[in-house]
Amino acid sequence: MGMKAKITPDEVKHIGELANLKIATKDLEKYASDLSEVISYVSRVQKADVKGVLPTNQVTGLSNVFREDVVDSSRMLTQSAALSNAKRKHDGYFVIDSIF
């Protein structure tokens, strides 16, 4: 498995404080063990031979398809048409109940 990084419960506590997380004392040992395993795994991944492997930022082969940002005037409403079915309106605006 390679070199094993050992994270201590004190380090977990310190990381928790930096992240403003409250970690129960009873969980520190478990989290230390879990983090040590994650770091050990990352260490193994870093040692992987990737010579000849092309960098990639996505794997689907798909690309974004964009359209020009143009106004389709055939789909535009006048202000009065937009407000025509509004339950409440004031000075050309929709009036709605507060959502907060």
User: CA–CA separation, 38 vs 4, rounded Å?
Assistant: 10
pLDDT digits (tens, 9 = 90+) for 15-60: 999 999 999 999 999 999 999 999 999 999 999 999 998 888 878 8
Residue 1: the pLDDT is 43
* Angle, vertex CA 51, rays to CA 45 and CA 53, nearest 5: 85
Q: What is the pTM of this model?
A: 0.49
Measured at the CA of 43, the angle between CA 41 and CA 45, to 5 degrees, comes to 70
Whether 88 contacts 95, CB under 8 Å: yes
Cβ contact 24:12 at 8 Å: no
Domain borders along the chain are 9-46
Q: Two tokens at 100?
A: 């907060």
Q: Give the pLDDT confidence score for residue 56 in this predicted structure.
A: 82
